[in-house]
Amino acid sequence: MSFLNLTRRGLIQTGAVAGAGLALPTYLRADAHAGYTNAPTGNTVTLGFNVPQTGPYAEEGLDELRAQELAVQHLNGEGDGGMMNTFSSKALKGNGILGKKVTFVTGDTQTKSDAARAAAKSMIEKDGAIMINGGSSSGVAVAVQGLCQEAGVIFMAGLTHSNDTTGKDKKANGFRHFFNAYMSAAALAPVLKSAYGADRRAYHLTADYTWGWTQQESIAAATEAVGWETVNNVLTPLASTDFSSYIAPVLNSGADVLVLNHYGGNMVNSLTNAVQFGLLDKEVNGKKFEIVVPLYSELMAAGAGANVQGVIGSMNWNWQLQDEGSKAFTKSFGEKYGRPPSNSAHTCYVQTLLYADAVERAGTFNPCGVGEALEGFEFDGMGNGPTLYRAEDHQCFKDVLVMKGKENPTNEYDTLEIVEQTPRAQVEYAPDHPMFAGGELGQCNPGA
């Protein structure tokens, strides 16, 4: 057979072998091969937004969904670009992710671990979601994070504040932008000391589940370090609605501070009940009685109404921040939805952009490549100042906000005010800190 005597079949075979040979080195590179779950093949890529759409946190889930939808618009080059204009990384160009138009599917966590896992599984297996983002509970976050690790997709957590999410339950495929209970306590304790003094006796009411336990442990340790005494810690059932029988014993306990390690409906009810019992009007040990709510949310503060006035707590972010990133996001969100974004909306928006940016920088959707791009990533322009995604535990480190219920609100969104923007250095901790001990990040799983 002469060289020029080529048949059509021979040409195709030769071409296929040559093509395969040339492609082999690329295929063998972990960051570029298609051997991972839901590798996008067309000109679109699908993100999975798993938020509570029913149940007690549905309003928070709705706000997360609004923010995620806005992030998708910005990624696709629609709207004003929001934080993409202020983000220190300039990898995102407004042409989707790696040139693929971004679409999304949604799941309903119902704020139940099993329902959240089922929703995430469905989005991954049926809808081909390349990543999962969102949520509004630590129990849910830990459950979905575990599922994403097994399935081989990236999990960008939403509102989850338990130390365990990036502590004993951390996973290589999971990343948390939201702050945690330790950080809240580290930010709050000095402010509490300066506002209420070092000689205080605190009584804790704690929601009886993972978040409550780590929140109580953190705030008790931090306040004891500034001189406070912990008088008692009472665990309250998560399903409680009336906290009067838990608050009544506080009155004669000798405590002069009540710490409510509650979130959501529990926080609204326990704070309302505590104010009804006149705790804030009392004087104990010669000092005015005070209430502390370590974790605030704008939506829940609105639910508690005037009862939050003067009560100190902490937040991951707030729309009143005046940095360029926060202003850009608040403007973009406010103009689209007619309301300022909540801190859970912010974290979900930022997580979506951070994921997209990591894909662009890695040049692949492979979760291991994306994970490598996120690990140790330093960025700015997303609110909260310079931020680090720490490689050792996939926890973001940034400034934390200490908030106080506003005494004279001027409108329905004006419920909280910023007392202090606690610098990142004050809330950092070592990766092997005892409160985060017990888990291993493990190996990244690309799935497929």
Partner 1 sequence: MDAILLQILNGLDKGSAYALIALGLTLIFGTLGVVNFAHGALFMLGAFCAVTVQKLLSLSTITLDETQKDFLGRPLEIKTPYVESWFGPETGSLIIDWSVPLAILFAIPVMLFIGYVMERGLIKHFYKRPHADQILVTFGLAIVLQEIIKYFYGANPIPTPAPSAFVGSFDFAPLLGLDTSLAYPYWRLVYFGFSTLIIGAVFAFLQFTTFGMVVRAGMADRETVGLLGIDIDKRFSIMFGIAAAVAGLAGVMYAPINSPNYHMGMDFLVLSFVVVVVGGMGSLPGAVLAGFMLGILESLASLNEVKAVLPGIDQIIIYVVAIVILLTRPRGLMGRKGVMEE
Decide: is 340 part of the binding site for partner 1 (CB under 8 A).
yes
Task: Count interface residues toward partner 1 (CB under 8 A).
Answer: 48
Binding mask 320-339 for partner 1 (x = CB under 8 A): x---------xx--xx----
Query: Cβ closer to partner 1: 44 or 241?
Result: 241
Decide: is 79 part of the binding site for partner 1 (CB under 8 A).
no
Whole-number minimum distance, CB 275 to partner 1, in Å? Answer: 9
Query: Cβ closer to partner 1: 159 or 299?
Result: 299
Selected range binding partner 1 among 73-81, 143-151, 372-380, 410-418, rule: CB under 8 A: 410-418
Binding mask 2-21 for partner 1 (x = CB under 8 A): --------------------
Whole-number minimum distance, CB 199 to partner 1, in Å? Answer: 21
Decide: is 268 part of the binding site for partner 1 (CB under 8 A).
yes
Whole-number minimum distance, CB 55 to partner 1, in Å? Answer: 7
Place of tokens 């912010």: 346
Whole-number minimum distance, CB 185 to partner 1, in Å? Answer: 24
Options 304, 321, 350, 362; binder of partner 1; rule CB under 8 A: 304
Q: Please, which residues have CB within 8 angstroms of residue 130's CB and are 6 or more apart in sequence?
A: 37, 38, 39, 40, 45, 46, 47, 48, 153, 154, 365
Whole-number minimum distance, CB 131 to partner 1, in Å? Answer: 26
**Site residues (CB under 8 A) for partner 1, limited to 272-301:** 272-273, 276-278, 281-282, 299-300
Whole-number minimum distance, CB 234 to partner 1, in Å? Answer: 7
Options 242, 437, 438, 443; binder of partner 1; rule CB under 8 A: 242
Place of tokens 């995430």: 120
Decide: is 307 part of the binding site for partner 1 (CB under 8 A).
yes
Helix axes 324-337, 58-75, angle to 10 degrees: 110
Selected range binding partner 1 among 58-66, 78-86, 188-196, 434-442, rule: CB under 8 A: 58-66
Options 26, 88, 244, 443; binder of partner 1; rule CB under 8 A: 244
Options 11, 18, 23, 306; binder of partner 1; rule CB under 8 A: 306
Options 245, 310, 363, 442; binder of partner 1; rule CB under 8 A: 245
Whole-number minimum distance, CB 61 to partner 1, in Å? Answer: 8
Query: Cβ closer to partner 1: 58 or 118?
Result: 58
Decide: is 232 part of the binding site for partner 1 (CB under 8 A).
yes
Query: Cβ closer to partner 1: 203 or 211?
Result: 203
Q: Three-state SS across the chain? A: CCCCCCCHHHHHHHHHHHHHHHHHHHHHCCCCCCCCCCCCCCCEEEEEEEECCCCCCHHHHHHHHHHHHHHHHHHCCCCCCHHHHCCCCCCCCCCCECCEEEEEEEEECCCCHHHHHHHHHHHHHCCCCCEEEECCCHHHHHHHHHHHHHHCCEEEECCCCCHHHHCCCCCCCEEECCCCHHHHHHHHHHHHHHHHCCCCEEEEEEECCHHHHHHHHHHHHHHHHCCCEEEEEEEECCCCCCCHHHHHHHCCCCCCEEEEECCCHHHHHHHHHHHHCCHHHCEECCEECEEEEEECCHHHHHHHHHHHECCEEEECCCCCCCCHHHHHHHHHHHHHHCCCCCHHHHHHHHHHHHHHHHHHHHCCCCHHHHHHHHCCEEECCCCCCCEEECCCCCEEECCEEEEEECCCCCCCCCCEEEEEEECHHHHCCCCCCHHHCCCCCCCCCCCC
Name the site residues for partner 1 (rule: CB under 8 A): 54-59, 62, 232, 234, 237, 239, 241-242, 244-246, 248-249, 251-252, 265, 268-269, 272-273, 276-278, 281-282, 299-300, 302-307, 319-320, 330-331, 334-335, 340, 410-411, 413
